Amino acid sequence: MKPNKIKTDILLITALFEERKWIQELFKGAEWVEIEKEGIFFHTCIYKRNDAVIKISLVTQIQMGMTHAAVLTTRSINILDPEIVIMTGICAGVKGKVELGDLIIGSKIFDYGSGKIVEGKLRPHFEPVMLDGWLWQLLDIMRNDQEVVRSIKSEFPLTQPDERQLSIRIGSLGCGAAVVSDGGFVEGVLASERKLLGLDMESYAVALATSLLTTPSKRIECFVIKGVVDFADAQKNDNYHEFGAYASAAFVKKFIDRYYVQVVLNNRF
């Protein structure tokens, strides 16, 4: 480890304050300390689970979008030297494939604006970042754990947005520079990526930055988990924002408690 790095185990990234506050709330048993390093303010805590001691660092973007996410992720990894990078938060979902309040784990994350413009139309050419196979298997086991799914829903401390059972899905996330409020636009992206489940504005940058900073001597894992709060159409509202931000953070808390410690740290079930 280089002398200017502050070693951390898990780096959590959010785009919004409302997403960050749920992480701090769910890990409230640990004492969060604010530190400044090279102009970036991090919140860090020492989290103890069974015999494991885990250092968690949390950072939030000051502006939304891929550019800010890419720079923040790159600088944070270089400063904190994490083992795993996780992004939580909220996203738009594809109507008919997911429901409001569902969680999406990005198995394939891409920039839906990449390609070539010909006669005013985009000919897409996606260069996706894929979820690592072993981590995909682990997250798939977790999302099918009904105890985990039920507890995420039931432990929400505010008024439930609906009575429907929570669903956690794994699939493609499309990422772009602008907020989308156009169902027709979503259909256009879906035509190029049939496994598309959702859209957001930061996930590709976080996943790509992490991938590019992985070397033969230092492997950094990464996954994105987001709660569906709208369908990227004109009917957008804030009814699911709190639950979506909470549920994605709760998933990460349970991932650390039940899988990161047992499987990643101890390499055993």
Reply yes or no on whether the pLDDT at 90 is more than 60: yes
Which stretch of DSSP H or E encloses residue 53? strand 52-60
**pLDDT confidence of residue 192:** 83
Contact 224, 87 (CB under 8 A): yes
Smallest CA-to-CA distance from 11 within 52, 54, 71 is with: 54
Q: What is the predicted pLDDT for the residue at 4?
A: 56
264 membership: H or E segment, kind and range: none
Report d(CA 58, CA 230) in Å as an integer. Answer: 25
Give pLDDT, residue 238: 85
Burial-class residue 217 by CB neighbours within 10 Å (0-12, 13-18, 19+): exposed
Share of the chain above pLDDT 90, in %: 71
Quote the pLDDT of residue 265: 62
How confident is the model at residue 267, as a pLDDT? 56
pLDDT at residue 268 in the model? 43
Closest CA to 170 of 206, 205, 202, 133: 133
What is the pLDDT averaged over residues 117-144?
Answer: 87
> How high is the pLDDT of residue 183?
65
Q: Which two tokens stand for residue 8?
A: 């951390």
Residue 3 in this model has a pLDDT that exceeds 50? no
Decide: 79 and 59 in contact? Cβ < 8 Å. no
Q: What are the tens digits of pLDDT across the range 13-23? A: 999 999 999 99
Global pTM value: 0.92
pLDDT higher than threshold 80 for residue 180? no
pLDDT tops 50 at residue 269: no
pLDDT for res 212: 96
Return the percentage of the chain with pLDDT > 70, whole number: 94
* Region 199-212 average pLDDT: 96
The answer, yes or no, to whether residue 6 has pLDDT greater than 80, is no
Residues 47-73 have pLDDT tens digits of 998 788 899 999 999 999 999 999 999
For residue 61, the model assigns a pLDDT of 96
Q: What dotted CATH number matches 10-264?
A: 3.40.50.1580
> Looking at residue 5, what is its pLDDT?
65
Q: Mean of the per-residue pLDDT values for the chain?
A: 90
Q: Among 57-71, 73-87, 105-119, 205-219, whose mean pLDDT is lowest?
A: 105-119
Token pair 């409302």 is at which residue? 18
Which residue reads 């050419």 in tokens?
A: 125
Distance separating alpha carbons of residues 35 and 192, to the nearest angstrom: 43
